[in-house]
Homo-oligomer: A and B are copies of this chain.
Amino acid sequence: MDARTAYQELIADFREKCLLDSVGAVVGWDEQTYMPPKGSSHRAEQMALVAKMSHAKLTSPRIGERLAAVEGSELVRDGETIEAVNVREIRRSYYRAVKLPSRLVEELARVTTQAQHAWREARKNRKFADFAPWLEKVVALKREEAQAVGYRESPYDALLDEYEPGATAKEITEVFAKLRAELTPLVGAIVQSGRTPKRDLLTREFPIDRQAIFGQAAAAAIGFDFAAGRLDLAVHPFCSGIGPGDCRLTTRYAVREFNQGFFGILHEAGHGIYEQGLDAQHYGTPMGTAVSLGIHESQSRLWENQVGRSRPFWEAFLPRLQQTFPGVVDDVSLDDWMLAINDVKRSFIRVEADEATYNLHIILRFELEQALISGDLAPKDAPGAWNEKFQASFDLTPPDDAQGCLQDVHWSMGGIGYFPTYTLGNLFAAQFMEQARKDLPSLDEDVRHAQFGPLKDWLNEKIHRPGQQWRPQELCRRVTGQPMSHQPLIRYLREKFGTLYGL
């Protein structure tokens, strides 16, 4: 088989696998939004069938044979061509998939389903002991997975690679250490600044129908295309890029929690704008696929925080907020509002944390995960290790495990290696935004006038359209001229909170 034919067949097969995954995405979205309650066990069977068929397509010997026929050929000699990128990334997916014995894949699916159930109960009852045996099983399987996949330096790398291709624990450890060294004193200074936000501004009565209107208008304003997407309700907000012309956002509202609904929408819209910005021509191939969870998260954080929690943004949107919620926030000044939505405080729960303390929550999890996978930490000892580290980072000890090591779903799902991508997202967001400010001198002025087109176009061109052309670290270098660093995020946080808290 000549290389060109092999390549074309490879792409056709891989595209079909992606198309099947996108069918699964519709069904998965429906499960979280509109499925009637009694449909859940049939839905589990549907999802399992699609996953099985997709896995069979990816691990088919056809893929391996065609990869072998293309690799080393003239067609992929220059590593930057479309063909080379697609072959490189299909190889990565194929390699990972065939390395995992199907017994392990099935066992992981089974155990993590049960573990999530056990986690939910244990968290509700604040009783880690009920979850401990499941964490033990999950960790054992993930260690087995790491061995099966293989790694150069650390078994944790094999897990990390699933979410952040090419990343290593070593490089993340280095940048996280520098980040923490700067964050800890910054958080200390803010907490001791003596300025306290008027927290009650955000817990006034914001009727949900108005929140929906305000949030959708903002998502549309920043560039999410509602003719190619939707916003629906879900218990756990997410974004699902179904395919060209179809991207689904979800959110949840609470009348007295403005932050949750609004910043949740901006966050998911940021993910959505990435998905909508992928090159439809390359749909179903790596060139038309998002790079990594870290880069994806950079896009959601950029819109949620760098833009959505900025003063220029609220110069445009505070008057709109006052119009949308008459009588609710008429008396609120821009200064008070800015401080309220940028309330920094040491607290127990990651998902409620502010921009400054958030990353300390992640670093703690990153360290514990590595210890679990290396075997240095026994799963049963997780609560003690958690609380000890929490005391060191936050000067607080969780009152119970529900507010400690039981708060997140990730480990029960087998998502070990996932957490660091949240902070990578924050780092990339700050670094990209610093570059965007250089490239777009009128950026703040644009935002002040609710003109988001230039920033969106810049992101489309620099980050979205290239797909998986470059791995995350290389993409960062290409876009910003610099390797990933903690400095842009620190500069951003120092300036922002320095002003807000008068440091």
- The answer to whether A23 touches B36, judged by C-beta atoms less than 8 angstroms apart, is no
Which of the 9-residue segments A147-155, A171-179, A225-233 touches chain B? A225-233
Chain B: CB-nearest residue to A30:
B26
- Among A41, A232, A283, residue most surrounded by chain B Cβ atoms (within 10 Å): A41
Is the pair B26, A243 in contact by a Cβ cutoff of 8 Å?
no
Q: Is B27 within 8 A of A45, CB to CB?
A: no
Name the B residues within 8 Å of A246 (CB-CB).
Answer: 35-36, 38-39, 42-43
Is A16 close to B, CB under 8 A? yes
Q: Are A46 and B23 in contact (CB under 8 A)?
A: yes
Q: A45-64 CB contact bits vs B (8 Å, 1 = yes)?
A: 11001100100000000000
By beta carbon, the residue of chain B nearest A46 is B23
A37 at the interface (CB under 8 A from B): yes
Chain B residues with CB below 8 A from A225, complex form: 38
Contact of A27 among B26, B35, B43, B49 (CB under 8 A): B26
Give the residues in chain B near A229, CB-CB below 8 Å. 36
Q: Which residue of B lies closest to A28 (CB)?
A: B26
A242 at the interface (CB under 8 A from B): yes
Q: Is the CB of A245 within 8 A of B27?
A: no
- Give a binary string over A232-273; 1 marks a CB under 8 Å from any B CB, 0 the rest: 100000000011111000000000000000000000000000
Chain B min CB distance to A79 (Å): 30
Q: How far is the CB of A451 from chain B (nearest CB, A)?
A: 23
Inter-subunit contact B49/A244 (CB<8 Å): no
Interface residue ranges, A against B (CB under 8 Å): 16, 19-20, 22-24, 26-27, 30, 34-43, 45-46, 49-50, 53, 225-230, 232, 242-246, 283
List 10 A-B residue pairs with CB atoms under 8 Å apart, sorted by A's residue number: A16-B49, A19-B46, A23-B23, A23-B27, A26-B46, A34-B230, A36-B246, A37-B228, A39-B242, A42-B243
6 smallest beta-carbon distances between A and B, as pairs: A39-B246, A38-B245, A42-B243, A38-B228, A39-B245, A42-B244
